[in-house]
Amino acid sequence: MSTRVHQLAKELNISSGELLAKLKALKVSVKSHMSLLNDEVAGLIKEDFAAKLKKASVPSKAKAKEGSPVAVKGKKTPVSEDKEVSPKPKEPPAKDKKIVHIKIPISAKELSGKLLLKPSELLQMLLKEGIIVHINQILPEDALKKIGEKIDCEFEKLPTEEEKVIQLHSAPHDLLKMKPRPPVVTLMGHVDHGKTSLLDAIHKSSITDREAGGITQHIGAYEISFRGKQITFLDTPGHEAFTAMRARGANATDIVILVVAADDGIMPQTIEAVDHARAAGVPIVVAMNKIDKPQANIDKIKRQLQELNLAPEDWGGKTVVVPVSAKTKEGVDSLLEMILLEAELLELKADPSSPARGVVLESKISRGGPQCSLLVQNGTLKLGKFILAGEFYGKVKAMFSDKGKRVHTAGPSTPVEVLGITGSPEAGEKFYVVENETVAREITQGRQLIIKEKGLGVAKKTSLENLHERIIQGKEKELRLILKADFQGSLEAVKSVLSKIPSDQIKLTILHEGIGGIIDSDVMLASASDAVIFGFQVDADERAKAHAKTEGIEIRIYRIIYEIYDEIKKALEGMLEPKREEVFLGRAEVRQVFKVSKVGAIAGSFVLKGKIVRNAVCRVMRGKEVVHKGKISSLKRLKDDARDVEEGFECGIGVDNFTQIQPGDLIEVYHIEETARTL
């Protein structure tokens, strides 16, 4: 956007003549006061005037009141309409920096308003510093720093409405108001070991005759009453759901019931479940299921549990192991008793008198609008209150219990279905009761803005590349790892190499180790526990890769054992090179080879997958052997030159400096992506 000379002069409160003289001195050729000035020239002029103005009057930090406007270059008497900013016209000159109070996140547009600058002026200021942002974009921290330096002010963060709400909900509890609350339990274990059957058996056995005719609702959790005490069971068994919730920051579970089939024993997912529960620091009670089966071997399972560091109490260990049968209901009561006992030891308490907060169990959109299942973790949720969860908020219009009954209140550890929220937040999202609709709206709008600004909302996760910085900043003393390898032997070799890393430099904690490829639940665990995933001679599946990318989880694949040691050592010293990753573009099969004078060989090929791209790097494969590495120097589709040729089409490919190409060879095209250091 350009400005006319007279407009700029007016803005700077000088005459057009003065400005024209100034421009002439700067050797900028302008004809008249109507001439257009480009942004850069206008910016320079303003800077020049601002510097002069600043010399004449710099407001004092000591005397500045909270939120008073900053002296903006080129502006004479800045007046802001913002409530937090009050004008201070006759500030005595001082050298201290001005303090400007802002709410984070702040967009370029909002900040320019706060600084009484035109948005374009602010954007240009940033452009000069090499920071390119658009007007509605949230300003990253470095941009704020640069602006602060430029206009000689310091930005002080005001607590956002969101922070105020979180502060309120996490304020120290009044011990006198704390009351015992029911435990929340999740069942985990290997597939087919009977998690669903056991959940069902417990649920059915708890339904009284009076309730038997009623409709039980599936609301993500159910409550039972046993010996006069309540227990809440989460309805989605398995460590995937458990850790997915944790990855969203919610720890809903107090006790994990590890279901192990007595006729089968510890299986890979049993171990995963144990590791996921341990990473979350949640105590484990073992339900040894299917004891009705003739093949059940209780002693064998106990031995295996002992090997997993879950030695049963009757074997001198600390783990409660209850033999049960979901089929005959044998042992179910003992299991419930043990859960209550464990809960007593945990001294679970909450304050029912405070405003409610908790976690979203699930949500769906039905004909009547969004329905949200919530688990209240503290406080009491009441009809008519405003709640917010994720990007959504609303007034609680109606609440239903897991038995399908309308309820007016829901206390700690109670699951309820709520109507009135304007959308469907994701499972694991935290919910809070807020004062009123305005607060709810402001917070959700801020969150939506962050979500739109992809990446800014995602907290930076640990990676080998930022490990050194995190150690220096005192953020990291421990590196949490998830190890996956092709064989038990290689896993042991990896661990042995890791044990050589001096523990005074960093504590290595292996949250989970396993044989086989890297899967989604590994990524979820890494995300929930801020860990890095190492794969040795294994790869990650597509879902895990995609998820790792969105969650910012680092997956490092190794083929040589000592590379692991070297990379960790380098990472600790901050000497790790940026990660270079090969990104597959396409693969073509050579069907026929034409010799062309001067050019060499042209491979008449068929694109099997992806696309072949001219000038991209490639390798020529003959069977499993790489016979050449080079570049696609020419690419033709029919007779025409092509920039790229898609899957399912024929093309002529020339690979630079390679004439030995043969029919049957595969040409693989890729590019190298460098992941920069993520500080």
Residue 247 in tokens: 């990855």
CB of 529 to ligand GDP, least distance (A): 24
Is 197 a binding residue for ligand GDP by CB under 6 A? The answer is yes
CA distance 12 to 72: 11
CB of 335 to ligand GDP, least distance (A): 12
Amino acid of residue 519:
I
Residue among 257 and 464 whose Cβ is closer to ligand GDP? 257
CA distance 479 to 554: 12
Query: Which residue lies nearest ligand GDP, judged by its C-beta?
Result: 194
Contact 612, 566 (CB under 8 A): no
Residue among 289 and 354 whose Cβ is closer to ligand GDP? 289
Among residues 25, 90, 41, the alpha carbon closest in space to that of 12 is found at 41
First and final C-alpha spacing in the chain: 35
CB of 127 to ligand GDP, least distance (A): 58
Residue among 109 and 327 whose Cβ is closer to ligand GDP? 327
Residue among 164 and 327 whose Cβ is closer to ligand GDP? 327
Q: Spell out, one character per residue from 209 to 238, where the chain touches ligand GDP: x when CB under 6 A holds, - when not.
A: ----------------------------x-
CB of 328 to ligand GDP, least distance (A): 7
CB of 519 to ligand GDP, least distance (A): 17
Is 551 a binding residue for ligand GDP by CB under 6 A? The answer is no
Residue among 169 and 193 whose Cβ is closer to ligand GDP? 193
Residue of 16, 196, 206, 304 that binds ligand GDP (CB under 6 A): 196
Positions 595 through 634 that interact with ligand GDP (CB under 6 A): none
Find the helix packing angle between 16-25 and 39-56, rounded to 10°.
Answer: 110
CB of 170 to ligand GDP, least distance (A): 35
Neighbours of 514 (CB within 10 A): 21
Residue 373 in tokens: 């299942």
CB of 237 to ligand GDP, least distance (A): 6
Residue among 108 and 332 whose Cβ is closer to ligand GDP? 332
CB of 189 to ligand GDP, least distance (A): 6
CB of 195 to ligand GDP, least distance (A): 4
Q: What are phi and psi of 408, to 5 degrees?
A: -100, -25
Contact 666, 594 (CB under 8 A): no
Residue among 289 and 371 whose Cβ is closer to ligand GDP? 289
Residue of 156, 192, 646, 656 that binds ligand GDP (CB under 6 A): 192
Which residue stretch of 290-298, 486-494, 562-570, 601-609 sits at the interface with ligand GDP (rule: CB under 6 A)?
290-298
Interstrand relation of 532-536 and 555-558 (parallel, antiparallel or unpaired): parallel
Neighbours of 71 (CB within 10 A): 26
Residue among 48 and 292 whose Cβ is closer to ligand GDP? 292
Positions 324 through 383 that interact with ligand GDP (CB under 6 A): 325-327
Residue of 59, 69, 182, 194 that binds ligand GDP (CB under 6 A): 194
Residue among 274 and 421 whose Cβ is closer to ligand GDP? 274
CA distance 99 to 65: 9
Neighbours of 456 (CB within 10 A): 15
Residue 507 in tokens: 């504590």
Among residues 532, 527, 487, 492, the alpha carbon closest in space to that of 508 is found at 532
Sign of CA dihedral 134, 140, 144, 150: negative
Positions 302 through 331 that interact with ligand GDP (CB under 6 A): 325-327
Residue among 326 and 590 whose Cβ is closer to ligand GDP? 326
Residue 447 CA, chain-centre distance (Å), reads 13
CA distance 11 to 42: 11
Residue of 82, 154, 292, 337 that binds ligand GDP (CB under 6 A): 292
Residue among 192 and 437 whose Cβ is closer to ligand GDP? 192
CA distances from 75 to 41, 47, 61, 302 (A): 17, 11, 19, 78
CB of 362 to ligand GDP, least distance (A): 18
Beta bridge partners of 631: 617
Neighbours of 474 (CB within 10 A): 7
Residue among 194 and 514 whose Cβ is closer to ligand GDP? 194
Q: DSSP assignment, residue 518?
A: B
Residue among 125 and 273 whose Cβ is closer to ligand GDP? 273
CA distances from 359 to 220, 253, 373 (A): 11, 11, 9
Residue among 204 and 609 whose Cβ is closer to ligand GDP? 204
CB of 268 to ligand GDP, least distance (A): 14
Rg of the chain taking only CA atoms, in angstroms: 32
Residue among 201 and 418 whose Cβ is closer to ligand GDP? 201
Q: What are phi and psi of 562, to 5 degrees?
A: -75, -15
CA distances from 304 to 24, 238, 289, 292, 313 (A): 88, 20, 15, 20, 14
CA distance 561 to 178: 53
CB of 326 to ligand GDP, least distance (A): 4
Positions 131 through 190 that interact with ligand GDP (CB under 6 A): 189
Residue of 1, 191, 451, 472 that binds ligand GDP (CB under 6 A): 191
CA distance 122 to 99: 18
Residue among 132 and 191 whose Cβ is closer to ligand GDP? 191
> Residue 318: left if φ>0, alpha if ψ -120 to 50, beta else—which one?
alpha
Q: Spell out, one character per residue from 234 to 273, where the chain touches ligand GDP: x when CB under 6 A holds, - when not.
A: ---x------------------------------------
CB of 296 to ligand GDP, least distance (A): 9
CB of 201 to ligand GDP, least distance (A): 8
CB of 217 to ligand GDP, least distance (A): 20
Positions 380 through 399 that interact with ligand GDP (CB under 6 A): none
CB of 300 to ligand GDP, least distance (A): 17
Neighbours of 536 (CB within 10 A): 22
Residue 161 CA, chain-centre distance (Å), reads 22
Match 């299942």 to its residue by tokens: 373
CB of 191 to ligand GDP, least distance (A): 5
Is 290 a binding residue for ligand GDP by CB under 6 A? The answer is yes
Contact 220, 415 (CB under 8 A): yes
Neighbours of 154 (CB within 10 A): 16
Residue among 191 and 346 whose Cβ is closer to ligand GDP? 191
Residue 351 in tokens: 């304050």
Residues in the interface with ligand GDP (CB under 6 A) total: 16
Cα angle for residues 573, 574, 580 (degrees, 5° grid): 125
Residues that bind ligand GDP (CB under 6 A): 189, 191-197, 237, 289-290, 292-293, 325-327
